[in-house]
Amino acid sequence: MFIQISRCAVSMSQTVASSSASELQEQIARKEAVVGVIGLGYVGLPLISAFTSAGLRCMGFDVDDSKVQSLAAGESYIQHISSRQVQDWNERGMLDVTADMSRLKEPDVLLICVPTPLNDSRDPDLRYVEGTAEAIAAVLRPGQLVILESTTYPTTTRDVMVPILEKNPAGLKCGQDFFVAYSPEREDPGNPDYTAAGIPKVVGGHDETSRDLACALYAHAIVQVVPVASTEAAEACKILENTYRAVNIALVNELKMLFDRMGIDVWEVISAAATKPFGFQAFYPGPGLGGHCIPIDPFYLTWLARRQGMSTRFIELAGEVNASMPRYVIDRLSEFLNEQAKPIRGSRIALLGVAYKKDVDDPRESPSFELIQLLKQRGAELTYNDPHIPELPRMRHYDLEPMVSQELTPEYLQRQDCVLIATDHSAYDYDEIVRHAPLVLDTRNATAGVVQGREKIRRA
DSSP 349: E
Q: In angstroms, what CA-CA distances link 91 with 94, 272, 408, 420, 457?
A: 8, 52, 39, 44, 51
Decide if 405 contacts 391 (C-beta within 8 A).
yes
Decide if 19 contacts 191 (C-beta within 8 A).
no
Which residues lie below 8 Å from residue 244, measured CB to CB, with a gap of 6+? none
Dist. CA 57–CA 77, nearest whole Å: 21
Decide if 458 contacts 440 (C-beta within 8 A).
yes
250: amino acid identity, one letter:
A
Decide if 116 contacts 152 (C-beta within 8 A).
yes
- The count of residues in the chain is 460
Which residues lie below 8 Å from residue 278, measured CB to CB, with a gap of 6+? none
Decide if 427 contacts 118 (C-beta within 8 A).
no
Cα–Cα nearest to 221, from 43, 415, 4, 22: 4
Residues marked active site are found at 293
Decide if 225 contacts 213 (C-beta within 8 A).
no
**Helix, strand or coil, per DSSP, at residue 433:** helix
202: amino acid identity, one letter:
V
Alpha helix (H) residue ranges in 65-146: 65-72, 83-91, 127-139
Dist. CA 108–CA 146, nearest whole Å: 9
Q: Which 3-state string (H, E, C) describes 248-290?
A: HHHHHHHHHHHHHHHCCCHHHHHHHHCCCCCCCCCCCCCCCCC
Decide if 34 contacts 25 (C-beta within 8 A).
no
Decide if 142 contacts 178 (C-beta within 8 A).
yes
Dist. CA 190–CA 113, nearest whole Å: 19
Handedness of CA 416, 422, 427, 430 (dihedral sign): positive
